[in-house]
Amino acid sequence: MPPYHSSVPFNDQKVISNIPLLPLKVTTKGTGTRGPAPVVANNTDRDIVDESLELFKANIFFSSFEIKDRSDQLLVYCILYIVLCLRMIQKCATKERAVKEMFTLALEKFDLPGDAGFPLNCYYEPAKSQQDRDTLHKYLTQIRSEIGARLLERVFDPKISVDGKPSKWWMCFARKRFLNVELSK
């Protein structure tokens, strides 16, 4: 069975380091005006973050992934970041603590394509200019903020979470590695 690919349309959005700057829904306070991501026209439409969270459990088991569309390159990054988030949430006893950790993790310094510490340099190319690098950093910070906030709503969903603790149905994936690599904190 092949992995699931992104169905978020790539409509000639700006591309930096092979990562398309796809539109995002703004659900996290402050991210809507602080980044270069175009805003989804209809806030009920799915964006790449929704899709990443939905496809995460199905795709996490694959050690290879064929890139079929530019959107897939952002999907790969998002899945790797979700694993990193789950590792951080695993150490948190309460949702309030996890919210702080996700906020901090999203804003921490992180490697971009072309940096020595970036795990998938074979999929991505380095930014062509410092301005592109800054734009990509801001965009990925926006993505990371949205992933953290939306993931917390799923992990601490009262329907599947017991006593306010993280859901075991999400935490069981914290030790998995997508494509046999991981993002470093």
Say yes or no to pLDDT of 33 above 50: no
Lowest mean pLDDT of 29-33, 75-79, 160-164, name the range.
29-33
pLDDT band at 32 (very low <50, low <70, confident <90, very high): very low
Digit-coded pLDDT (tens) for 117-154: 999 898 899 999 999 999 999 999 999 999 999 999 99
Note whether residue 70 is domain-resident.
yes
Long-range contacts of 151-155 (CB under 8 A, 24+ apart): 151/53, 151/82, 151/85, 151/86, 151/89, 151/102, 152/89, 152/95, 152/98, 152/99, 152/102, 154/53, 155/86, 155/89, 155/98
Note whether residue 156 is domain-resident.
yes
pLDDT band at 111 (very low <50, low <70, confident <90, very high): very high
Note whether residue 118 is domain-resident.
yes
Under 8 Å CB-to-CB from 153, ≥6 apart: which residues?
A: none
Note whether residue 145 is domain-resident.
yes
Note whether residue 151 is domain-resident.
yes
Say whether 15 sits in a helix, a strand or coil: strand
Note whether residue 9 is domain-resident.
no
Digit-coded pLDDT (tens) for 35-70: 888 887 676 678 999 999 999 999 998 888 888 988
Note whether residue 84 is domain-resident.
yes
Q: How many domains, the chain?
A: 1
Distance separating alpha carbons of residues 55 and 121, to the nearest angstrom: 23
- Per the prediction, the chain carries an average pLDDT of 89
- Say which CATH number the domain at 83 has: 1.10.1760.10
- DSSP states of 30-91: TTSSSSSPPBPSSTTS--HHHHHHHHHHHHTT-S-----SHHHHHHHHHHHHHHHHHHHHHT
Note whether residue 180 is domain-resident.
no
State the residue range of the domain holding 110: 15-171
